[in-house]
Amino acid sequence: MALSNEHIQQKLLEKFPNEVTGFEEPYGMLTFWAPKEFNLKVLNFLYDDEELKFRFLTDLCGAHYPDNKGEELVVIYHLHNMIENVRIRFKVCTGIEQPDIYTATGLFSAANWMERETYDFYGINFIGHPKLKRILNVEEMDYFPMRKEYPLEDQSRIDKDDEMFGRI
């Protein structure tokens, strides 16, 4: 039997009836949400279940939605069942005041660098991460550059003139 989005959704709702919500299928990829306290429980279930077998973490990234009070930061997991060639997207949100989410490094070793990058750019603290420190930006940075909390660049700056970049 081929693994369908409907079957995945049904198994998730059987296991987590009140926790897993917001099912969508943009471009055919099953997408759903869970509270941040359940991220490891859901990930472990998707990994361990003998039918689902989502054992490959394709990507882990962050997003910032400043208008969603209490849920400004989002961690997005892209998982892949390589046997059935099925991909899903799992999202977890947290507040910017206490951006703590449990690390997935115990389940997926690839999460190590991806969580470090997400911390580096969004400031999401992955609890239990073995070495959570900046990976691309300098340690001295006291802000997180991908957050949408800074004004757009002033276009009247003369140090950003096209002439300085040879675009005349």
Looking up residue 78, the CATH number of its domain turns out to be 3.30.460.80
In a domain, 113, yes or no: yes
Ranges 17-21, 39-43, 92-96, 152-156: which has the least confidence: 152-156
What's residue 161's pLDDT? 66
Please list the residues that pair with 94 across neighbouring strands.
Answer: 73
Give how many domains the chain has, as a whole number: 1
In a domain, 155, yes or no: no
DSSP track, 71-124: --EEEEEEEEETTTTEEEEEEEEE-SSS-EEE--TTT-TTHHHHHHHHHHHH--
In a domain, 36, yes or no: yes
Mean pLDDT of 55-69: 96
What's residue 164's pLDDT? 66
Alpha carbon distance, N-terminus to C-terminus of the chain: 61
In a domain, 93, yes or no: yes
Residue 151 has pLDDT above 80, yes or no: no
Mean pLDDT of 91-111: 97
In a domain, 124, yes or no: yes
Confidence of residue 149 (pLDDT cuts 50, 70, 90): confident
In a domain, 114, yes or no: yes
In a domain, 167, yes or no: no
Domain that holds residue 89: 5-150
Residue 7: which of 43, 48, 46 has the closest Cα?
Answer: 46
In a domain, 160, yes or no: no
